[in-house]
């Protein structure tokens, strides 16, 4: 009986911290004297303003913080060992001892869902990071230089987008081999065109802006202009894309696992758990599929909501 209360205690300080810490940190930073303090305090005040002005963003940030905690602490906070089976406890309905019930091997579903956060977030973050970096580089270069580079990369990207993306990802994983890394690469490749196109458009409209010409007159080379002057201005819309893409990437990874590609049992992963649980829905053990599915949905929802907040955060024009 003491297990659940322990978990509640674990969750409470987290959400409480997120609410209070901003003001505290703000005050703490302001108290520090020094050159860097005012800007950092401004940043935090700005974050506080964004969270206050948009309650959806606040909810998204709280959920995101919870997910990060689950991913980072992982095995430290799971009430049971997510891999330990115990046939005596098999297929128990949700109860105070087992919040999300147990599966056919008697493993605690809550612990498994919690544990899966680390893997799913890791896949999503690394896939998005790869597609963001390479997509931005390709898109920025073709948007800035134009010409044949733009034409060639543009057509390659069109070709990638011509495939149904999930089928393409399936094909890539099937061809490269069934492993977590390959899920990451496949997800990165299908997401890359979005970044490349967006970076191209954002860079292209600023190529001849006054401040870019001024930078040229200041003796900046092309690559420096691209990296320090133009690209940072393309960041705000890219942040929205990153956040949306994190949601897609999680769905994509879970989808691949669901059909048996990539992550293999008994590793806890939301997609596999839904796939395994699906078999038991007909016989009435609904909790096996419902909870991992619900958490998956919540994660995607969080990332979709996070986008606007992130954009406002990286755009200095939103600061006053």
Partner 1 sequence: MNALVEVKDLSVDFSTRNGVVHAVRDVSFSLMKGQTLGIVGESGSGKSVTSYTLMRILDQAGYISGGSVSFGGMDIGNASEKNMVLLRGREISMVFQNPRSALNPIRKVGQQIEDVLCQHLQATRHDAKQKAIDVLRQVRINNPGERYHAYPFELSGGMCQRIVIALALACRPQLMIADEPTTGLDVTTQKAVMDLMAELTRERNMATILITHDLGLAAAYCDHLIVMKDGEVVEAADAKSLFQNPQHPYTKKLIRATPRSSGTIRELLPEDTKVPALAVSTPNAGKSEAILTVENLVKEYPLKSTSSTKHPKAEARPVFRAVDDISFIVGRGECVGLVGESGCGKSTTSSMIMRLLNPTSGSLIFDGSEIANMPAKTFAKSPLRTKLQMVFQDPTDSLNPRFTASRSIADPLMRMGQLKSRRQMRDRVQELAELVGFPAHLLDRFPHQLSGGQKARVGIARAISVNPELLVLDEPTAALDVSVQAVVLNLLVDLKARLGMSYLFVSHDLSVVRLLCDRVIVMRGGKIVEQGECDQVLENPADPYTRELLNAIPHPAFD
Cβ atoms within 10 A of the Cβ of 57, count?
A: 21
Contact between 164 and partner 1 (CB under 8 A)?
Answer: no
What's the CA gap between 60 and 62, in Å, rounded?
A: 5
What's the CA gap between 214 and 293, in Å, rounded?
A: 53
Q: Of 66 and 215, which has the nearer Cβ to partner 1?
A: 215
User: Which of 19, 213, 260, 265 forms a contact with partner 1 (CB under 8 A)?
Assistant: 213
Per CB under 8 A, which of residues 228..267 are in contact with partner 1?
229, 232-233
> Could you tell me the smallest distance in angstroms from the CB atom of residue 39 to partner 1?
8
Contact between 33 and partner 1 (CB under 8 A)?
Answer: no
Q: At what angle do helices 231-258 and 287-314 cross, to 10 degrees?
A: 170
Whose tokens are 């080379």? That residue is 221
- For residue 63, give the nearest of 314, 240, 296, 318 by alpha carbon: 296
Per CB under 8 A, which of residues 260..319 are in contact with partner 1?
316-317, 319
Contact between 147 and partner 1 (CB under 8 A)?
Answer: no
190 contact partners, CB below 8 Å, separation of at least 6: 160, 165, 166, 168, 169, 172, 252
Contact between 209 and partner 1 (CB under 8 A)?
Answer: yes
Contact between 221 and partner 1 (CB under 8 A)?
Answer: yes
Q: Can you read off the two tokens belonging to residue 255?
A: 């989808």
Residue span binding partner 1 (CB under 8 A) among the ranges 195-203, 216-224, 259-267, 272-280: 216-224
Q: Of 13 and 316, which has the nearer Cβ to partner 1?
A: 316
Q: Can you read off the two tokens belonging to residue 193?
A: 């065109």
Q: Of 21 and 53, which has the nearer Cβ to partner 1?
A: 53
Contact between 204 and partner 1 (CB under 8 A)?
Answer: no
Contact between 220 and partner 1 (CB under 8 A)?
Answer: yes
Backbone angles phi, psi at 281, to 5 degrees: -60, -45
Backbone angles phi, psi at 53, to 5 degrees: -75, -20
108 sits in the region (left: phi over 0; alpha: psi -120 to 50; else beta) called beta
Contact between 36 and partner 1 (CB under 8 A)?
Answer: no
Contact between 16 and partner 1 (CB under 8 A)?
Answer: no
- What are the residues binding partner 1 (CB under 8 A)? 39, 49, 53, 209-211, 213-221, 229, 232-233, 316-317, 319-320
């Amino acid at each position: 009986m003491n297990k659940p209360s322990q978990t509640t205690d674990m969750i409470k300080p987290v959400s409480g911290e997120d609410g209070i810490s901003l003001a505290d940190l703000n005050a703490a930073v302001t108290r520090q004297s020094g050159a860097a303090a005012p800007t950092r305090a401004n940043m935090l005040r700005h974050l506080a303003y964004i969270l206050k002005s948009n309650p959806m963003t606040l909810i998204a940030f709280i959920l995101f913080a919870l997910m990060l905690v689950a991913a980072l602490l992982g095995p430290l906070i799971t009430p049971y060992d997510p891999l330990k089976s115990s046939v005596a406890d098999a297929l128990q309905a949700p109860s105070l001892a087992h919040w999300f019930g147990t599966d056919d091997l008697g493993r605690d579903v809550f612990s498994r869902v919690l544990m899966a956060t680390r893997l799913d977030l890791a896949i999503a973050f690394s896939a998005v990071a790869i597609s963001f970096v390479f997509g931005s580089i390709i898109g920025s270069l073709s948007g800035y230089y134009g010409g044949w580079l733009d034409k060639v990369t543009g057509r390659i990207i069109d070709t990638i987008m011509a495939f149904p993306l999930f089928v393409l990802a399936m094909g890539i994983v099937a061809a490269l081999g069934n492993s977590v890394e390959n899920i990451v690469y496949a997800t990165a490749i299908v997401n890359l065109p979005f970044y490349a196109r967006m970076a191209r458009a954002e860079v292209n409209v600023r190529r001849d802006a006054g401040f870019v010409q001024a930078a040229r007159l200041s003796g900046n080379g092309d690559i420096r202009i691209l990296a320090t002057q133009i690209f940072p201005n393309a960041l705000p819309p890219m942040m929205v894309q990153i956040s949306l893409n994190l949601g897609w990437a999680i769905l994509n990874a879970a989808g691949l696992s669901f059909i048996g590609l990539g992550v293999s049992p008994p590793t806890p992963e939301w997609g596999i758990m839904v796939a395994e649980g699906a078999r038991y829905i007909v016989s009435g053990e609904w909790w096996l599929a419902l909870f991992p599915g619900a958490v998956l949905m919540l994660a995607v929802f969080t990332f979709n909501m996070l986008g606007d907040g992130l954009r406002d955060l990286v755009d200095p024009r939103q600061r006053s």
